[in-house]
Structure 1
Amino acid sequence: MEATAPLLTIWKNKFIAYVGKMALNNFFKHLVTDEHFISKALPAYLYYPLLFNEAFQYHEPEKLEKLCLAGFFYYRSLIELDDIVDSTHPTKRPYAPLVSSICQEEAIKLLSSLFPLDSIFWCYWGNRRDEYLNAVAQDKANPITIPLPAYETHAEQKSAFGKIAIDSLHVLTEEKYLSVYEQLLKAHRHFSVGFQLLDDVKDYRKDAENAQINWAHMALNEHASRQQYELNNWPLAKRHSYLHLSGVANKLLKQSNTCFSQALEIAQALGLHAWQETIVRQNKAIMYLRLYYEAHVKRAISKSRFSTTLRYATAKGAPYAANELACCLRLAETFITDSQNEDGSWQDFHTNAGLSNSWVTGYVLAHIADIPSCSGQAKIKAARFLQNSHQKGSGWGYNTDWIADVDSTTTALLALDLSCQPMYPQATSWVANQRKDGGFSTYTDHQKLYQSLDKSKSNLTGWLQNHTCVSAMAYYFLARTNDYPESQSEVRKFLLHARNPEGMWGAYWWTSPIYSTTYIIKGLLLESVPGAYADVINSAVEALLNLQLADGGFGTALPAPVASSAYYTGLVLDTICSDAELFARYRPQADKACNWLLRHQHTDGSWSSSALMQIPSPEVQQPQKEVSTWRLSSSGTNIIVEDEMRVFSTVIAMKAISAYRRSLPG
């Protein structure tokens, strides 16, 4: 577990304990130690001097504790003052001036116990006070535009009291480490500018309402001026949207990332591990924001282009003319090809981690690889993207910015294998993730998963346990390649043991047992001994077909009520068409499913998205039992996520209709 978590707990408890001993009314003690304020603050503000003390080789626990407490008290005081100065409704927080006064007084008392009145420290203090006041005055002046160097100085001055931690250590070590001190001030400037740029993107609307200096506002005005737009006539909400649609927000986040990276370089050179962790956390926050905003922009642009018109109000029903199926496939293939990005990737599913590209690209390529009419160039580009997006020593992740996971790696390996691309070194590493009981989990490394998550949750048992749906895709891959017979046998045993009473298999990440069940059936059909698992296959298919709705489609189990989904309908149809005997036996059900798909294709060749993926909270082990309420959302956990880009639904519907067409006699 990363060091910041215990440090945060230790220093939060120290601060609360210190306030508890103050000669102060309990009501104000509660206000000073407000849990909401502490949880919103950058964790390192509770122990800011500890980010730098190693560089000064200063290790006096009592004095460091006083410095840390004084720093957080003063930070608390300044935030209250900022809110008072900025607020247009001071009556909403009538006690803010008193809380600020209490915290400022305690900070000065602590510092006075460390530095006598004639100490050089108070000269540094006076300089930092003047810098901060300059920043406040400039904020209130609210210039229309300022040069970048002036903005950087403004950002540094807004964080002037943060430098007091460095000044204090410099004075306590009798100014012996002048070179270190100067390097730290330089790094702190980079850190402050990066922090301010990040804040300006996040606080665009708030700063506009409070008429404060905001570089995002200035950069957007400059961009709009080049486009000959007059933003002053636009509502604030529209300007905020344009900040992201224009790409200005993304550009500023990259600038922020650069500043943090410059600070990180100095922190690494000085061996300041705690500060390195703090900077890395900020870069992680930038990654989350960038992925989130990029996904919103991509969704907004794509959804504006999606057709809402169905090709057929009604379909003729089987038998279908060959040209009708061919036309359907041609339109679907065009949609899939047009949805491919320049780098060869496809994207879908917007979550906290942004849009998926690696996992989605592997999945799409795996399902178009054996469709001869699909663009060969699209397949080549997708395979190249997968080869380039492999994370050395790990595999593939949900996207290129996220840690590798077993399921994304499975789909990438399946795609490369079906595309006749080399994948054996990676496959050998992947097999090593198999558990002793034969199953596969999505994630295997607690430390990496913990560090990747935005929240400091330590209970990750749900995401680290075996997952039937992940094991189902792993089994299908192993059965397709037939290169790892021992692993194939072990995962098959695991899955046969995991069947539910209905004869199907549940899913951790999916809203229906259809996902796991169809891939397991297709894996069993590939086993080398013909008919060895006929009873299991037949009962599973019967159970699946019992889920067919009156309209011929198959639906999601969540959220209620159940409605037909192109994705789940496609999975079932493709499975029935995987075996000649199954197709002959269940031809009527296959005809109905195909008919539903034909009736629900849009004029642009796509099928509507549906609620496919579920994301339980990391500690949840049995989603169907433990989660009582699911939200349809793209953020947080215990949520249901749609394939909003329509890529997943369309590629599976297309594959199913292609398989159906090949299964028809003659």
Structure 2
Amino acid sequence: MLNITNKLQINLDEKDLSSSVNHIYNQIDNVNIPLTLKQIVFPENFLDHKFYFIMPKFFKDIYGIKNKKAINDICNSGYFYFRYLLCLDSLADQDTIIEDENLKKHMYKMQILQSHIYHEQALITLGFYFGKNHDFWETWGKRNKDFLESIQMDSVYNISLTIKEYETLCIGKCSFTNVAVDVFEFYTKNENKEMYNDLIEINNYFSIGRCIQDDIEDFKKDLIFQKNNLAHVFLNNWLISKNLNITDYNNDQLEKLLISSGELEKLLSLSGDYLKKAIDLCDKYDSKLIKYKKLLSSMLNTIVFYKVQIEAYRIDVLIKNKLKNVDKLNSNNLPNAISISKKYINDLQFKNGSWYENLNKQGFSNSWATGFISLFLDDADAEKDKSIEFLKKSHQNNLWGYNTDWSYDYDSTTCSLINVVKNKKDFHLIEKWQTGQNNNGGFSTYSDNDPELLGRLNLTKSNIKGWVQSHVCVSALAYYFVVSKKIEEHIDIQKLRTYIFSNTNKDGIWDAYWWTSPIYPTSFIIQGMIMEKEAYDMIEDKLKILFDLQNDNGSFSCPVSKQESAFYSALVLDTVSLERKYFDKFSEKADKLCNWLMENQLSNGSFDNTYYQVIPNPNIKQWKSNHKFNKNMFGAGNSVTGEQYALFSTGVALRAFRRFSKLKVK
């Protein structure tokens, strides 16, 4: 189904890896068997499982071992034993798909021969180092016992496995990984039992997480041969919850159901949870387990990548099934525009209170999207209450990210806090968010002190200077948040104002880092100024500059795509309709703008999507419209992307229509 293994990156020095490879081939050269037989026993793909081959090297620093020959010998013996166990597992499972029975019998005979030689080579080395060490061989016996018990347990297909039983099965099947710790433990005569137990636990978490990945990859094959597989268990439980029976479906149908049910995402998340536990334990020992942590982080990143892409596919299918047969309205009016906008937002809200919108390599946004859409809803809207419940469950220590699988950022956090924070008494909720304000007064999107972000991007601090600097658009929303909730005393509001008002463009309004138009930051800054009761002339001047961008038909366009934009048009209408004295000043332009929005509203209440978002590479500090940015609805580095379902446009339009309506009837 998914080949996760081939996506893993082994963060080892090539020279280090090369010395180990040369060492094992020297040992193979000294194996005293005929050359033709040696070519069968040690085929070209013998070292395909490289990260198991070099696994003992993950522990050499924590045990302080400098003897390179001993380390390479241990790598050799560990890998020979690993290959031996693979042979035993294959012989026990008999699950290789080969139609020619004679060829299959021949292959199994070869595996018997291979297993004998691999086992012999492993024990030759271990015997040299631990010959009469009773404690080592007692531990060795326990590892073998665990493995054999897991083989016996695995021989009975059990589609009702509990998680506890599955953990035991995985740890037993991967017991050889703990031998990598055992050999150094006895070689160094270590007395720190807490460290030893932690290393075993790290290996066990790794083993369980990796076994889940194997189960995903082998989903269909294990159905054919009736082999225990956690994906079968998860899918069976889901089918039972729907009063369905797994035996009523063929293997292809079950594979599709695993994806469409969302159970595949749950499996990937569970695998990631075990790897996170292993990473957390690695952190306890600082740099001494850095190579192991890098491998675990690489695996986790791969899992997250697959999970968000699979989720995006599933969500897209679900939403698009709701968006069929959509046309332009023949006629429209304000009450109808408000009603169908709200219905559209309600229809696309998921049961957990979230919305999905905007797609890039990190998948769909749910946290940021939910926060943004919800901030344009009225407090009386039931959808807002549901969204707040989702946001309260999806934060990382009161910090939110683009989605629940991605690192936190201060802009998504601002969107969420606007909804979650009710008044000054909620000060404790913003303590972490406050750290996003930089010395120059502005707010950055990401923190350069977030190791998770650097790990996810596989970059260093020097490569992400563009993403961690202060951004006007992020600061604009932060300013709007602070003044709308009247919590100015909890940040350096004067420095924030100074940063904002010293970063206007040549026209006197504000350019954005993440958005294609100055309309986004300018709208939030003007609304903040109105709420702060800033000088009338200054606000009027900014609104005048904004309306200079208006098209003849009343709309506003995206300056990059040159297309009329419901999103930017709605933002301007929302801003000018905040307070009557500004609305009256620009009422003719506002009327024309509102009419354009109503004329271009679709029958389901939404609008055409807008390409409004810029994704610069992390090292780019400032982009310009003449830069070569590719238009890509699925997002990527140096790309312009935007909505998939016009939820941002519809959310902003809903509040704009409501505000406009209140001012027009008075």
What TM-score do the two structures reach when normalised by structure 1? 0.72
Out of 44, 49, 70, the position equivalent to 2:76 is 70
In the alignment, what sits opposite 2:525? 520
Out of 290, 303, 314, the position equivalent to 1:297 is 314
Query: How far has the Cα of 1:421 moved from its partner?
Result: 7.1
Query: How far has the Cα of 1:571 moved from its partner?
Result: 0.8
| 2:246 is equivalent to residue 246 of structure 1 | no
Q: How does 1:47-126 map to 2 (within 5 A)?
A: 47-51=55-59, 54=62, 59-63=65-69, 65-66=71-72, 70=76, 115-116=127-128, 119=131
In the alignment, what sits opposite 1:29? none
Over residues 552-610 of structure 1, what are the superposed CA-to-partner deviations in whole Å (9 max), with x where a residue is unaligned?
Answer: 4334445x4x3333222211222232354554454444334322322333444333443
Out of 175, 191, 209, the position equivalent to 1:194 is 209
Q: Give distance in 2, aligned partners of 1:331 and 1:655.
A: 13
On the 8 A contact 1:521/1:540 being kept in 2, the answer is: no
Q: Give distance in 1, aligned partners of 2:565 and 2:528.
A: 23
In the alignment, what sits opposite 1:655? 655
Query: How far has the Cα of 1:619 moved from its partner?
Result: 2.3
On the 8 A contact 2:202/2:281 being kept in 1, the answer is: yes
On the 8 A contact 2:220/2:255 being kept in 1, the answer is: yes
Q: Give distance in 2, aligned partners of 1:437 and 1:289.
A: 38
Query: How far has the Cα of 1:306 moved from its partner?
Result: 2.9
In the alignment, what sits opposite 2:456? 453
Q: Give distance in 1, aligned partners of 2:301 and 2:227.
A: 26
Out of 337, 362, 373, the position equivalent to 2:371 is 362
| 2:497 is equivalent to residue 492 of structure 1 | yes
Structure 1 residues 199 and 189, CA, compared in 2 at 3 Å: closer, same or farther?
A: same
In the alignment, what sits opposite 2:112? none
Residues 536-545 or 127-136, more deviating = 127-136
Structure 1 residues 325 and 488, CA, compared in 2 at 3 Å: closer, same or farther?
A: same
**Aligned amino acid, residue 571 of structure 2:** L
In the alignment, what sits opposite 2:16? 14
In the alignment, what sits opposite 1:631? 632
Query: How far has the Cα of 1:466 moved from its partner?
Result: 1.4
Query: How far has the Cα of 1:407 moved from its partner?
Result: 1.5
- Indicate the SS of the match to 1:438: coil
Out of 435, 439, 447, the position equivalent to 1:436 is 439
- Indicate the SS of the match to 1:349: strand
On the 8 A contact 1:479/1:488 being kept in 2, the answer is: no
Structure 1 residues 129 and 471, CA, compared in 2 at 3 Å: closer, same or farther?
A: same
- Indicate the SS of the match to 1:643: coil
On the 8 A contact 1:349/1:642 being kept in 2, the answer is: yes
**Aligned amino acid, residue 461 of structure 1:** K
Over residues 4-31 of structure 1, what are the superposed CA-to-partner deviations in whole Å (9 max), with x where a residue is unaligned?
Answer: xxx965544311366589999xxxxxxx
Out of 317, 334, 338, the position equivalent to 2:343 is 334
| 2:644 is equivalent to residue 644 of structure 1 | yes
Out of 410, 413, 438, the position equivalent to 1:409 is 413
Structure 1 residues 413 and 249, CA, compared in 2 at 3 Å: closer, same or farther?
A: closer
Q: Give distance in 1, aligned partners of 2:277 and 2:496.
A: 47
- Indicate the SS of the match to 1:423: helix
Q: Give distance in 2, aligned partners of 1:185 and 1:395.
A: 32
**Aligned amino acid, residue 573 of structure 2:** L
On the 8 A contact 1:45/1:75 being kept in 2, the answer is: no
Query: How far has the Cα of 1:651 moved from its partner?
Result: 1.0
- Indicate the SS of the match to 1:492: helix
Residues 440-449 or 185-194, more deviating = 185-194
Count the aligned residue pairs: 611
Over residues 379-428 of structure 1, what are the superposed CA-to-partner deviations in whole Å (9 max), with x where a residue is unaligned?
Answer: 44444555565544x544334554442212323343356x5574334446
In the alignment, what sits opposite 2:113? none
On the 8 A contact 1:362/1:386 being kept in 2, the answer is: yes
Q: Give distance in 2, aligned partners of 1:16 and 1:52.
A: 17
**Aligned amino acid, residue 116 of structure 1:** F
Query: How far has the Cα of 1:197 moved from its partner?
Result: 1.0
Q: Give distance in 2, aligned partners of 1:71 and 1:627.
A: 53
Structure 1 residues 192 and 544, CA, compared in 2 at 3 Å: closer, same or farther?
A: same
In the alignment, what sits opposite 2:615? 615
What TM-score do the two structures reach when normalised by structure 2? 0.72
Gap regions ≥5 residues in structure 2: 1-8, 27-41, 100-115
| 2:329 is equivalent to residue 312 of structure 1 | yes
Query: How far has the Cα of 1:71 moved from its partner?
Result: 7.3
On the 8 A contact 2:477/2:525 being kept in 1, the answer is: yes
| 2:427 is equivalent to residue 424 of structure 1 | yes
Out of 525, 529, 533, the position equivalent to 2:538 is 533
Gap regions ≥5 residues in structure 1: 1-6, 25-31, 90-103, 316-323
Q: Give distance in 2, aligned partners of 1:375 and 1:538.
A: 29
Q: How does 1:443-592 map to 2 (within 5 A)?
A: 443-451=446-454, 453=456, 455-458=458-461, 459-481=463-485, 483-484=487-488, 487-534=492-539, 536-538=541-543, 540-545=545-550, 548=551, 552-557=554-559, 560=561, 562-580=562-580, 582-584=582-584, 586-592=586-592
Over residues 205-253 of structure 1, what are the superposed CA-to-partner deviations in whole Å (9 max), with x where a residue is unaligned?
Answer: 68789998754256536755875467787684x5433202224324434
Structure 1 residues 348 and 151, CA, compared in 2 at 3 Å: closer, same or farther?
A: same
Q: Give distance in 1, aligned partners of 2:244 and 2:392.
A: 42
Q: Give distance in 2, aligned partners of 1:144 and 1:479.
A: 59
Query: How far has the Cα of 1:293 moved from its partner?
Result: 3.9
Residues 294-303 or 515-524, more deviating = 294-303
Query: How far has the Cα of 1:349 moved from its partner?
Result: 3.2
**Aligned amino acid, residue 564 of structure 2:** S
Q: Give distance in 2, aligned partners of 1:396 and 1:186.
A: 30
On the 8 A contact 2:543/2:576 being kept in 1, the answer is: no
In the alignment, what sits opposite 1:348? 357
Query: How far has the Cα of 1:654 moved from its partner?
Result: 0.7
In the alignment, what sits opposite 1:593? 593
**Aligned amino acid, residue 556 of structure 2:** F
On the 8 A contact 2:84/2:118 being kept in 1, the answer is: no
Q: Give distance in 2, aligned partners of 1:645 and 1:201.
A: 31
On the 8 A contact 1:170/1:177 being kept in 2, the answer is: no
**Aligned amino acid, residue 260 of structure 2:** L
**Aligned amino acid, residue 510 of structure 1:** W
Q: Give distance in 2, aligned partners of 1:344 and 1:69.
A: 51
Q: Give distance in 2, aligned partners of 1:79 and 1:499.
A: 66
Over residues 86-143 of structure 1, what are the superposed CA-to-partner deviations in whole Å (9 max), with x where a residue is unaligned?
Answer: 7989xxxxxxxxxxxxxx999999996775299378999999899999999999x997
On the 8 A contact 2:578/2:659 being kept in 1, the answer is: yes
Q: Give distance in 2, aligned partners of 1:333 and 1:254.
A: 33
On the 8 A contact 2:577/2:583 being kept in 1, the answer is: yes
Structure 1 residues 516 and 199, CA, compared in 2 at 3 Å: closer, same or farther?
A: farther
Q: How does 1:128-143 map to 2 (within 5 A)?
A: none
Over residues 525-577 of structure 1, what are the superposed CA-to-partner deviations in whole Å (9 max), with x where a residue is unaligned?
Answer: 445442352575155314432xx3x664334445x4x3333222211222232
On the 8 A contact 2:631/2:641 being kept in 1, the answer is: no
- Indicate the SS of the match to 1:463: helix
Query: How far has the Cα of 1:658 moved from its partner?
Result: 1.5
Structure 1 residues 470 and 375, CA, compared in 2 at 3 Å: closer, same or farther?
A: same
Q: Give distance in 2, aligned partners of 1:196 and 1:213.
A: 11
| 2:180 is equivalent to residue 165 of structure 1 | yes
Query: How far has the Cα of 1:469 moved from its partner?
Result: 1.0
- Indicate the SS of the match to 2:612: strand
Q: What RMSD in Å do the two structures reach over aligned CA positions?
A: 5.2
Q: Give distance in 1, aligned partners of 2:224 and 2:511.
A: 50
Query: How far has the Cα of 1:442 moved from its partner?
Result: 0.9
Q: Name the % identity.
A: 25
Query: How far has the Cα of 1:500 moved from its partner?
Result: 2.8
On the 8 A contact 2:442/2:471 being kept in 1, the answer is: yes
On the 8 A contact 1:70/1:106 being kept in 2, the answer is: no
Q: Give distance in 1, aligned partners of 2:174 and 2:621.
A: 44
On the 8 A contact 2:571/2:656 being kept in 1, the answer is: yes
